[in-house]
Amino acid sequence: MDTTSFADRDGYIWFNGKLVDWRDANVHVLTHGLHYASSVFEGVRVYDGEIFKLTEHSERLVRSAEILGFDIGMTVEEINKACIETVAANQIVNGYLRPVAWRGSEMMGVSAQQNKINFAVAAWVWPSYFDPEARMKGIHLQLSKWKRPSPETIPTESKAAGLYMICTLSKHAAEREGYDDAVMLDYRGLVAEATGANIFFAKGTTLYTPTPDCFLDGITRRTVIDLAKARGYEVVERAIKPEEMADFDECFLTGTAAEVTPVQCIDDYTFTPGAVCQTLIADYENIVHRRAAA
């Protein structure tokens, strides 16, 4: 694992209209986005030099900013161009892309009507393949004490920085207990998602996944639903009670970072990664690498 600080790397970051040296892409300590979480971002994968579903990510970034009450000041096409230039400048073949927009430091207080909107894109190497044998064993998850909030209390349809505070808290707590990650329930006590990924369960070839009414309907989530339907699997989106997890055969996470990752347990609920997980992992790898399906 690369332990180099993200503040001290070689390369270039697209920063407010131009590519700058990685180490020069800095903001002031009194940036509004740091103090009041007025920041939105995306996580995007690069496979074989191509950015996967870039336009969908850029469109969501613009929507997230609008929900938080600001205009990035760039079109989707301009955001796409900045992302492509950043990948090219850093010679990324398989990696990760982080576009981010935030309110600057012109005003410091809850109100920030006059603050400049900043925009940056960073990209770094992140291999897209996992060891197949290790991957199919499944990861271990813990149920978090933190719950996904109601959409009446926070803008849950945005990919905004503030929504991830409880994700960090949940993941840190899980790691301290020897787990890989955590699953959060929502404000009603229903299964919601992991800290940075959506969740699916399988019973036979029927998939069950929580309705995304208080968390992001992930781009990877939608991709996997399409792949599952193409395989003839039934996909059921509905409320899922925690105790129902005892009835499912398989479980997996989906997300830009997680891709399709099988789960072996959630606390005392156990699952056996099997044919459904294996098939969807292969189908997802085929689509992101533009290979023909088996």
Amino acid at 71: D
Give me the sign of the Cα torsion angle 20, 22, 28, 31.
Answer: positive
Burial tier of 21 (Cβ tally within 10 Å: 0-12, 13-18, 19+): exposed
Active-site residue (options: 147, 159, 229, 241): 159
Our answer to whether residue 159 is catalytic in this structure is yes
The answer for residues whose C-beta is within 8 angstroms of residue 253's C-beta and 6 or more apart is: 139, 181, 194, 197, 198, 199, 200, 260, 261, 263
Element (H, E) at 34: helix 32-36
> Residue 290: helix, strand or coil by DSSP?
coil
Catalytic residues: 159
